[in-house]
Amino acid sequence: MRDNVTDPNAASRRDFLRGSSVAAATAVLTQTAQVGMDEAAAEALATQQISAQSGTISVTLQVNGKALKTEIEPRSTLLDVLRHRLDVTGPKRVCDRGSCGACTVILDGQAVYSCTTLAISSQGKTIRTLESFDTGEGGVPHAFHQNDGLMCGYCTPGFVTACQALLEKNPNPTLEEVKKGLDGNICRCGTYVGVIQAALDAAKAIKV
Ligand code: FES
Ligand code: FES
């Protein structure tokens, strides 16, 4: 059949073009709507992320047996939140980069550097600082005092906390185990002899 012969059953070129353009327009509209939706979703996500990055969120931390609620920036370290939001100042900021141990806390039974731990990821875990330790005879702080395990004292909260965590896991450590258990902590004053003896004495006396 030649092109110019009319076929009643055949769609005319005009009908075809009309149909095509409607379909194309629908496709374009659908695409546009989809792009619009994607953009809206992306924008909402970006806004959420910006607000998550620069805004504050509410967190509850279990510190020394108490549920403490506060508002923090999601990027906040556990050390910052303890010291500046919750007034728990036992953990010290010294290097602030995970190398000295002055900021040590016990998180779910593990000694960790609070300066390299996000507060937001500490939710739902038990956090203990030296404020909660037994300070009487038989306690780790007393053993440090008895053995001159400190000079300036800046490293001491971290050492006491690491020692407490060690003895809770291993109540009868050997000298080598004490050295290994405390090897994440640094004392610039060089009180290691006293610190190690304090740990060994505390192991004999401590009631963990
Ligand atoms: S202050 Fe955290 S390791 Fe030094
Ligand atoms: S007692 Fe001074 S840093 Fe350890």
User: Is 21 a member of any domain?
Assistant: no
**What is the C-alpha separation between 99 and 119, in angstroms, rounded?**
19
User: Is 10 a member of any domain?
Assistant: no
Does one domain contain both 164 and 139?
A: yes
Q: Is the CB–ligand 2 distance for residue 155 below 6 Å? A: yes
Q: Provide the domain count of the chain.
A: 2
Which residue among 77, 78, 89, 100 has the greatest number of ligand 1 atoms within 8 angstroms of its CB, and so is best to mutate? Answer: 100
Q: What does the pLDDT read at residue 67?
A: 98
Reply yes or no on whether the pLDDT at 145 is more than 50. yes
Domain that holds residue 119: 57-131
pTM (predicted TM-score)? 0.74
Does one domain contain both 116 and 138?
A: no
Counting atoms of ligand 1 from 1, which one is nearest the CA of 100?
Answer: 4
Q: Is the CB–ligand 2 distance for residue 152 below 6 Å? A: yes
User: Is 152 a member of any domain?
Assistant: yes
Give the confidence band of 138 by pLDDT, cuts at 50, 70, 90.
confident
Q: Taking residues 115-140, report their average pLDDT.
A: 96
**What is the C-alpha separation between 117 and 56, in angstroms, rounded?**
17
Contact 19, 11 (CB under 8 A): yes
User: Is 74 a member of any domain?
Assistant: yes
Burial of 118 (0-12, 13-18, 19+ CB in 10 A): middle
User: Is 189 a member of any domain?
Assistant: yes
pLDDT digits (tens, 9 = 90+) for 81-116: 999 999 999 999 999 999 999 999 999 999 999 999
Reply yes or no on whether the pLDDT at 153 is more than 80. yes
Does one domain contain both 142 and 171?
A: yes
Does one domain contain both 115 and 143?
A: no
Give the confidence band of 43 by pLDDT, cuts at 50, 70, 90.
low
